[in-house]
Amino acid sequence: MNQKIGYARVSTDDQNLHLQRDALAAAGCEIIYEDKASGKNAARPELDNCLKALRPGDTLVVWRLDRLGRSLADLVNVVTHLVDERRIGFLSLQEQIETNSASGKLVFHVFAALAEFERNLISERTKAGLEAARARGRLGGRKPKLQKKDIREIRALLKDGSIPVSDVARRYGVSRTTIYNHVGVVSVQNSRGD
């Protein structure tokens, strides 16, 4: 039996679900799942339950697109999985996108193309930024804790074995492991005597 199943979400305690619930009921939803959680919060237990309850031929109905996905890419992934892999319809009431019709599928695929375009743009900008930084001599990652001058000084301090590695590490504000990584084990006494 094909049924319409609704999903509603509010992101703060100040918002309420009445508007979404009423719209979903008016659209013919027999079951409505509701979450009260931030879009950034990964836990949306009722969405998970809703997605598990959907069967081929059913239609997932949301009041607005942003109720379902945290981002355009997330939304496209969820809906594409439902429509293409699980044979479940999708309907967004406010945007009037319905994947059960040819025009609705077209609109959704335009959204999907825009999401892919956005991902590619971000990737290209990131690569260009990294290349520009490298061209200016900036390497990726954080600044090293110890400079070459510091490493030379540390080697000199540890050379005779009278100062424990832990004291040198404390003086330079780094861990013993950092000292060992940059200088190596200086003597048997220093590697065991700390």
pTM tops 0.85, yes or no: no
Q: Name which of 36, 66, 33 is nearest 48 in CA terms.
A: 33
Mean pLDDT, 10 residues at a time, the chain of 194 residues: 92 79 96 80 85 96 88 85 93 91 85 84 89 82 84 89 90 91 63 47
Q: Which residues contact 183 (CB under 8 A, 6 or more apart)?
A: 151, 154, 155, 158
- Residue 134 pLDDT: 84
pLDDT at 188: 41
What pLDDT, on the 0 to 100 scale, is given for residue 19?
93
> Which pLDDT belongs to residue 25?
97
The confidence score (pLDDT) of residue 43 equals: 79
Q: Is 115 in contact with 72 (CB distance < 8 Å)? A: yes
Distant-in-sequence contacts of 152-160, Cβ < 8 A, 24+ apart: 154/179, 154/182, 154/183, 155/183, 155/186, 158/183, 158/186, 158/187, 158/190, 159/186
**CA distances in angstroms from 69 to 25, 31, 122, 146, listed in the order given:** 21, 20, 19, 44
The reply to whether 11 belongs to the active site is yes
Q: Kindly name the residue from 11, 38, 166, 175 that is annotated as catalytic.
A: 11
- Residue-by-residue DSSP string for 113-164: HHHHHHHHHHHHHHHHHHHHHHHTTPPSSPPPSS-HHHHHHHHHHHHTS-S-
Q: What span, in angstroms and rounded, lies between the C-alpha atoms of 80 and 84?
A: 6
What integer pLDDT is reported at residue 142 of this predicted model?
77
